[in-house]
Amino acid sequence: MHEPITDIVIVGGGTTGWLVAAHLNHRLQWGLGHSDGVRITLIESPDIPVIGVGEATIPPIRAMLSLLDIDEDEFVARTQATFKLGVRFDDWDRDEGSDRAPDASVRSFVHPFTGGLQLAGRDPAASLLAYGLPADLTIDPQLANLVGHGVAAIAAHRSPRSLADAPYAGAINYAYHFDAGLFAAFLREVCTARGVEHVRDTVLGIDQDDRGHIAALRLGSGTRRETELVIDCSGFRGLLINEALGEPFVSYADYLPNDRAVAIQVAHDETHALLPATVSTASDAGWTWRIPLRSRVGTGHVFASGFMTDDQAVDTLVRRNTGFTQLTDARAIPMRVGRCRNSWVGNCVAIGLASGFIEPLESTSIQFVDYACRRLLRAMPSRAFEPTQIARFNTEMAELYEEVRDFLGLHFTLGNRRDTPYWRAVAHDAKRSDALAHCLALWRHALPDDFDPRSSVAFGAGSVRAVLFGKRFYTAPIATGTDLLPREHWDRYARQIGALQQILVGALPPHAEMLRMMVGRAAIGASAARKAPMLGLPDRDDPFTHEPQIMAPDTRLARALSG
Known catalytic residues are: 84
> What string of H, E and C letters represents the secondary structure of 296-358?
CEEEEEEECCCCCCHHHHHHHHHHHCCCCCECCCCEEEECCCEEECCCEECCEEECHHHCEEC
> DSSP characters for 485-523?
PPHHHHHHHHHHHHHHHHHHHHTSPBHHHHHHHHHHH--
Beta bridge partner(s), residue 82: 177
Pairwise CA distance, residues 365 & 353, whole Å: 8
Dihedral sign from CA coordinates of 28, 34, 36, 41: positive
Pairwise CA distance, residues 344 & 390, whole Å: 6
Does residue 329 contact residue 54 with C-beta atoms inside 8 Å?
no
> What string of H, E and C letters represents the secondary structure of 520-532?
HHCCCCHHHHCCC
Does residue 422 contact residue 308 with C-beta atoms inside 8 Å?
yes
Distance between first and last Cα of the chain: 59
Cα 76 from chain centre: 18
Find, among 66, 16, 57, 291, the residue nearest to 181 by Cα.
16
Residue 422 backbone phi and psi in degrees, to 5: -60, -50
Does residue 79 contact residue 56 with C-beta atoms inside 8 Å?
no
Q: What is the CA radius of gyration of the chain?
A: 24
Find, among 466, 559, 460, 556, the residue nearest to 151 by Cα.
466
Find, among 428, 295, 406, 400, the residue nearest to 340 by Cα.
400
Does residue 512 contact residue 295 with C-beta atoms inside 8 Å?
no
Find, among 302, 506, 47, 250, the residue nearest to 241 by Cα.
250
Does residue 406 contact residue 454 with C-beta atoms inside 8 Å?
yes
Pairwise CA distance, residues 69 & 534, whole Å: 12
Residues in the chain: 563
Find, among 457, 421, 433, the residue nearest to 548 by Cα.
457
Does residue 497 contact residue 143 with C-beta atoms inside 8 Å?
no
Residue 265 backbone phi and psi in degrees, to 5: -115, 140
Q: What is the DSSP letter of 144?
A: G
Does residue 298 contact residue 306 with C-beta atoms inside 8 Å?
no
